[in-house]
């Protein structure tokens, strides 16, 4: 006798249906591997560091593309003296087709500022007001000249993707002080996503709970925060309690499913964010003086200034890590550097400086690390002259052998200049800081030991800082 349709479905519910469910779980990486089975539990509750750490939060302003250090932070009189002449040595080009050996001194003037006497370009008038609060590192080095590889090096410690970013490691190691907001937030630019897209805030192979949460550059910054009218109030509360009970029963029947647990926690966080996120992202009640400080009355600076203000509000409320990104290759000035570099500086300078000032006056700078920098600098020679004697359209090629970035707060020295590049700004030659040294130093300031902050994967302990030569750069610590 042939089976009826109903009996066939009943008998096959644990066959075809089970296979389909397993397939879906596998596609979403929610099936436990043999090494995951066991009492592994992940959450965002606050965790004690390995030792004392002054830093409690971090705000990173990532200037993708490579700000030209010899035009902003690292004046080179010798380069100016050689202006128009051949570079007296070897140049490590990235784009040989557009390369030249013709030196180009900075067309912008430098002046000393602050009690520390830091030389700053005229393109950064607001940064010149906070130099006594920052450490300027002039000797950064990664040595990988392509954007993707250099970005990976600065964000996840290696030159390849698929790994957790620094923000994911911090939230994995320390959790969050606020259970109603994401622990790790990415604030993107309205002009476009950064190079590599979501890889910039990826959790890699850490549980998805530690992935960065994107807050959009335009309203609504987080979509779908409001429940449908039919579910608002008590109806939603009852519904969420019911779903939570089902989720927990489902999880209890599947011990060791770390990603499933993370997914459930993400859903629960989303529900709590309906109130907390609205309040955190609402800058309307900030004082007029604060809004002016961040440049919200300046059309050229208002967008980035708004994101800097939101970043302050987030760390003020216990968010562990906030990353701000500029648009796709904003600082990649292979040509037209005379117009593009001033525009890029105008866009970020006021907001970045205001962030340091505001954190300091609120007593938050001592425990919040502020970072400003990109994945590379630029070369001291002209690129893309195209046979013309006119320099108005020329630019500079990539340089990861010596470049600048600045950090403030969280245990870094104030009013300090660290390291040097050569007389032309091409290579770091004194007190070199490699990307892995930078990461080891950051973890140290958070009280985390780079060798012991690990995650077991495929039978081995994975870490952010793999290079055995990595060191904590104690010379830049307060």
- DSSP letters spanning 68-122: -HHHHT---HHHHHTTTSBPSS----S-GGG---BB---SS-EEEETTTTEEEET
pLDDT tens per residue, range 354-409: 999 999 999 999 999 999 999 999 999 999 877 667 788 999 999 999 999 999 99
Range list of H helices, 317-434: 337-361
Of the candidates 100, 103, 126, the one whose C-alpha atom is nearest the C-alpha of residue 113 is 126
At 331-362, the pLDDT tens digits run 999 999 999 999 999 999 999 999 999 999 99
51-476 folds as: Alkaline Phosphatase, subunit A (3.40.720)
- Residue 20: predicted pLDDT: 46
pLDDT classification of 187: cutoffs 50, 70, 90: very high
Answer yes or no: is pLDDT of 39 > 70. Answer: no
Q: What is the pLDDT of residues 87-136, one digit of tens each?
A: 999 999 988 888 899 999 999 999 999 999 999 999 999 999 999 999 99
The closest alpha carbon to 305, from 286, 319, 318, belongs to 286
CA 386-387-390 angle, to 5 degrees, is: 90
What span, in angstroms and rounded, lies between the C-alpha atoms of 384 and 307? 34
Q: Are 449 and 50 in contact (CB under 8 A)?
A: yes
**9-15 contacts, C-beta under 8 A, 24 or more apart:** none
| CB neighbour list of residue 333: distance below 8 Å, 6 or more residues apart | 65, 66, 68, 340, 341, 344, 378, 395, 396
Residue 317: pLDDT over 70 = yes
Residue 258 pLDDT: 66
Q: Is the pLDDT assigned to residue 14 strictly greater than 80?
A: no
- Could you tell me the pLDDT band of residue 253, with boundaries at 50, 70 and 90? confident
Where do the structural domains in the chain lie, given as residue ranges? Answer: 51-476
């Amino acid at each position: 006798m042939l089976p009826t349709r109903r009996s066939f479905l009943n008998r096959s519910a644990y066959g075809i249906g089970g296979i389909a469910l397993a397939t879906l779980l596998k596609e979403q990486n929610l099936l436990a591997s043999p090494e995951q089975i066991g009492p592994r539990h992940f959450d965002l509750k606050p965790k004690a560091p390995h030792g004392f750490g002054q830093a409690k939060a971090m705000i990173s302003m990532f200037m993708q593309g490579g700000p030209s250090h010899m035009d902003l932070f690292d004046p080179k009189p010798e380069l100016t003296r050689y202006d128009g002449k051949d570079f007296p040595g070897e140049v490590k080009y990235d784009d040989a087709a557009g390369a030249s050996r013709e030196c180009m001194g900075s067309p912008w003037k430098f002046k000393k500022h602050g009690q520390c006497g830091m030389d700053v370009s005229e393109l950064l008038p607001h940064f010149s007001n906070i130099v006594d609060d920052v450490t300027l590192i002039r000797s950064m080095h990664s040595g990988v000249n392509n954007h993707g590889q250099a970005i990976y090096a600065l964000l996840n410690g290696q030159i390849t993707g698929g790994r957790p970013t620094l923000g994911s490691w911090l939230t994995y190691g320390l959790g969050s002080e606020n259970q109603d907001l994401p622990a790790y937030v990415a604030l993107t630019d309205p002009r476009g996503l950064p190079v590599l897209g979501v890889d910039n805030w990826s959790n890699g192979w850490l549980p998805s709970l530690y992935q960065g949460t994107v807050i959009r550059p335009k309203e609504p910054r987080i979509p779908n925060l409001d429940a449908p009218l039919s579910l608002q109030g008590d109806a939603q509360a009852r519904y969420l309690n019911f779903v939570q009970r089902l989720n927990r029963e489902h999880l209890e029947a599947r011990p060791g499913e770390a990603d499933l647990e993370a997914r459930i926690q993400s859903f629960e966080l989303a529900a709590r964010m309906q109130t907390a996120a609205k309040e955190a992202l609402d800058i309307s009640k900030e004082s007029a003086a604060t809004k002016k400080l961040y440049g919200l009355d300046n059309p050229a600076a208002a967008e980035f200034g708004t994101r800097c203000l939101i970043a302050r509000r987030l760390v003020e409320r216990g968010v562990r890590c906030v990353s701000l990104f500029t648009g796709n290759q904003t600082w990649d000035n292979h040509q037209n550097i005379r117009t593009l570099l001033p525009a890029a500086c105008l866009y970020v300078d006021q907001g970045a400086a205001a962030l340091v000032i505001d954190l300091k006056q609120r007593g938050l700078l001592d425990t919040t690390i502020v970072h400003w920098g990109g994945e590379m600098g630029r070369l001291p020679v002209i690129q893309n002259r195209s046979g013309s004697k006119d320099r108005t359209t020329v630019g500079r090629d990539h340089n990861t052998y010596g470049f600048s970035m600045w950090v403030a707060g969280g245990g870094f020295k104030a009013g300090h200049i660290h390291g040097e590049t050569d007389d032309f700004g091409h290579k770091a030659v004194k007190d070199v800081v490699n990307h892995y040294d930078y990461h080891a130093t950051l973890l140290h300031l958070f009280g985390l030991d780079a060798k012991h902050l690990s995650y077991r994967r495929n039978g081995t302990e994975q870490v952010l800082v793999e290079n055995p030569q990595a060191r904590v750069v104690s010379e830049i610590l307060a």
